Amino acid sequence: MGSFPSHGSDLADDIEMPGYDCSATTFTYVGSSILGKLALGQGLSALVFVVYRHLIAMLILAPLAYVLERNRRPSFSFGVMLKIFILAMLGITIQQNVYYVGLHLISPTVASALGNVIPAFTFLLAIVLRMEKLNLKTVILLGAFVTSPMIQLHFESPEKGDAWLKGSALMLFGYFACSVSLVL
């Protein structure tokens, strides 16, 4: 279930696409954390690193968006511009700046382990905003999403001090900002 029908002996046809997409996203995310930690370890400022990331993304995506989406542009009303601004501030600017400052203080392993709280934060926000209903099954799942990263964080983090605590708190705040942007 979830895979494409086989059209011969081509291996690519037999790959389950949702699982492949999830794995590719995870590897990309972990690779980004490791490369970010290496750049920060070489002395690059976290804020400068985020600016470089945004500039490179803009240079790659802006021409593509202009060419591919020029006939389907929505009108820019005040409401649309306000929503774009809020999503850009929460989902990109605040989340990435806080994430890379926190990554400078902790290891990429801890950052990846803490990333598992994003679904829990998103679900809690959906409950608060009455987009989801709460029942016993969801409470158990939510507990698993919250406690699993915290247990991993406790056992996998080699640094135990103020830097570890500050970095973890910054990571959690960044992931919360990411969850807010997902719910909006």
Q: Is residue 6 part of a domain?
A: no
| Predicted confidence (pLDDT) at residue 108 exceeds the cutoff of 60 | yes
35 occurs within a structural domain: yes
Query: Cα(133)–Cα(165) distance, rounded to whole angstroms?
Result: 33
Is residue 7 a part of any domain in this protein? no
What distance in Å separates the CA atoms of residue 75 and residue 42, rounded to the nearest whole number?
44
What is the distance between the alpha carbons of residues 7 and 9, in angstroms, rounded to a whole number?
A: 7
Q: CA–CA separation, 184 vs 173, rounded Å?
A: 17
Instruction: For residue range 13-69, list pLDDT tens digits in order.
Output: 555 666 677 778 778 878 888 888 898 889 888 888 888 888 898 899 889 888 888
Amino acid at 78: F
Q: Is residue 177, in this structure, part of any structural domain at all? A: yes
Rounded Cα gap, residues 144 and 120, in angstroms: 9
In a domain, 52, yes or no: yes
Q: Average model confidence (pLDDT) for the chain?
A: 77
- At residue 15, the pLDDT reads 54
pLDDT at 4: 47
User: Within 10 A of 167 (CB to CB), how many other CB atoms are there?
Assistant: 23
For 77, the 3-state DSSP assignment is coil
Task: Look at residue 8 and tell me if it is in a domain.
Answer: no
Residue 71 tokens, joined: 């006939």
The boundaries of the domain holding residue 22 are 13-183
Question: Is 1 within the bounds of a domain?
Answer: no
Greater pLDDT, 160 or 56: 56
Spatial separation of the C-alpha atoms in residues 174 and 91, rounded to whole Å: 9
Query: Strand (E) positions, 43-149?
Result: none
Mean pLDDT of 93-117: 84
- Predicted confidence (pLDDT) per residue in 66-85, tens digit: 888 878 777 778 888 888 88
**Number of structural domains, the chain?**
1
